[in-house]
Amino acid sequence: MCGIVGYTGNNDACAFLITGLQRLEYRGYDSAGIATLSSDSPRIQTTKVAGRVAQLESALAAGTIRGRLGIGHTRWATHGAATEINAHPHSGGRSVLSLVHNGVIENYESLKTDLQAKGFEFVSQTDTEVIAHLVADHYAQLQAGGEPTVEHCVEAVQTAVSQLRGTYGLLVMFRDFPDLLIAARCGSPLVIGVGKGEQFVASDTSPLVGFADRIVYLADHQVAVIRPESIQVLHRDQGRVRPDVHVLSSDSVDVNMEGFNHFMLKEIYEQPQSIQNALRGRLDRDNATAKFGGLNLTPQQLRGVQRIVLTGCGTSWHSALVGEYLIEELARVPVEVEYASELRYRNPPTDHATIVFGITQSGETADTLAALREMKRKGHHTLAICNVIGSSIAQAADGGIYLHAGPEIGVASTKAFTSQLTVLTMLALYFGRLRHLSFEAGQRVIEQLERLPHLVEQALACHDQVKEIAAHYHTANNFLYLGRKFNFPTALEGALKLKEISYIHAEGYPAAEMKHGPIALVDEHTPSVFIVPQGTVYEKVLSNLQEVKARGGPVIAIVDHDDPQVARLADNVIRIPQVEDFLQPIVASIPLQLLSYEIALLRGCDVDKPRNLAKSVTVE
């Protein structure tokens, strides 16, 4: 969601700040800004725009803003509209400090009332300006006419954050100290890049690649005092702590489109490799099972599991639905799928033999993080299926499985979705082999999984066919997506992709449920996308397809490459390789992703940065 960058050192801060903000654009935002401070300047210089980083860069080119200390931010509006005034950074007091913030402060209104009573004037509608004035108020009280010290700055931040209720990742610079940054975290990530005579800060690792080769992840309730030659970390309860320094991999981010027109298209075409990466080293042919190194539970403990809860949001929730079918079919373990945003507030009855998987691409989704923490508080073992190493959810969970899909820059998830499904299939195999699944059945699953990257590569061959179909239907205002069994969640995901990037209203349903209401929407202007590869429910879905045709609705059908029947019924057919039922969602999602992409292009939409959406949703 929002993005943070910061720099202190001997070089021009702007160079890193702009590069860092450009690398954070994939997260989604509506305004941007930076603030810098120089030792030979008496004031903090701030430039903000309502719009893209490119506009900010243009605004900076027209001015003389320079400094060896700086902070930057991309904002996704929560409190107040996307305007220049509401953009970060925000000043505190009489511009004694400047501050950027990710997260949401729930008690900002009461704090604002108290500060206004003390004479503080507010110019924005944001909750962030409240934090800036709150820190400035404590700083003024601590200084009280004496000489300012770094200790005053640190204590002002610590006292202020103790009054906040909600989530925050904060980066603060003080006018009196032109080489000092103070970072604070609670629920919203911050990473420090360790350099030589310079230090970098960001809300994820992507801005740091190429600038630092070592990093420090801040944990919740920690405050970092950052100067060019030193980093000191303080914990709310433990006092000064020794930071854990990690090596930053040079391939942690790849923001090169490598000849593709959009990151989304690049990531669609990366799926044969990302699926291969998810499989690598995890298939055990000798024992006809999968293996995972990070579950942190013994096989004996896992055999005792009586129920599994899968929780996530958006695309990750759809992958959880497929996971429910997979685990129940292969392992015969009852599975519940919960929206993370609902699970965090519900009080479902769960016994001690329940484990909880949080599924997330970014590892920073606020609702999923809160749901895992709540279930952990109730004594359940929590596990993460996640793509980002060192993310908040990866740190909070008791164990987990990394996707190894590589960075996903496009806001609409593609390769992370199919990697999640791949991991969930292996997880179902693993639980199945712990229980009743035979050696021969396990071997068959492994054989199918080993073929999967090649089959996905074959599925990409439908792209030209999809382009023709998109050209025919891109002016439609409503779509239906229909499938059954494993492909019901696939239909939901296909509809979500179309909504996300083309802004067309689309709904996904189990195909048989259509006649219980949605069939009323069917007319000659509403295309229905049927996911109907051959399998156990093939004839059933075929009947549902005929119900739509009987009412004059145009039909786009996704079928096996050698399907003999559907071409006679559907208006348009997209052919994919034939796979077992349990792998159909992975292969069938390829044409659905391409269809959404091509329709969005024809409608002139911003494919990688759809309106109102953010890649990493760090607010509730």
Catalytic positions: 2, 615
Burial 171-199 (b: 16+ CB within 10 A, else e): bbbbbbbbbbbbbbbbbbbbbbbbbeebb
Q: Rounded CA gap, 417 and 361, in Å?
A: 8
Dihedral, CA of residue 606, residue 609, residue 612 and residue 616, to nearest 10? 160
Residue for token pair 């035979």: 438
Cα–Cα dist 226/224, whole Å: 6
- The residue count for the chain: 620
Measure the N-to-C terminal CA separation of the chain; round to a whole number of Å. Answer: 11
Quote the CA–CA distance of 192 and 18 in Å, as a whole number: 17
**Reduced DSSP (H G I as helix, E B as strand, rest coil) percent helix, strand, coil of the chain, to 5:** 40, 20, 40
Dist CA 536 CA 559 (whole Å) = 14
Q: Which residues contact 449 (CB under 8 A, 6 or more apart)?
A: 279, 283, 422, 425, 426, 429, 583
Do the strands 381-386 and 354-360 form a parallel or antiparallel pair, or are they unpaired? Answer: parallel
Question: Is the CB of residue 308 less than 8 Å from the CB of residue 297?
Answer: no
Q: How many CB atoms are located within 10 Å of the residue 440 CB? A: 8
Closest CA to 141 of 132, 130, 152, 129: 152
Strands of the sheet with 168-174, listed across from one edge: 90-92, 97-102, 168-174, 181-186, 222-227, 230-235, 239-241
- How many CB atoms lie under 10 A from the CB of residue 207? 30
**Torsional sign, CA 118, 119, 125, 130:** negative
**Three-state secondary structure along 129-198?**
HHHHHHHHHHHHHHHCCCCCCHHHHHHHHHHHHHCCCECEEEEEEECCCCCCEEEEEEECCCEEEECCCC
Interatomic CA distance for residues 417 and 520, integer angstroms: 31
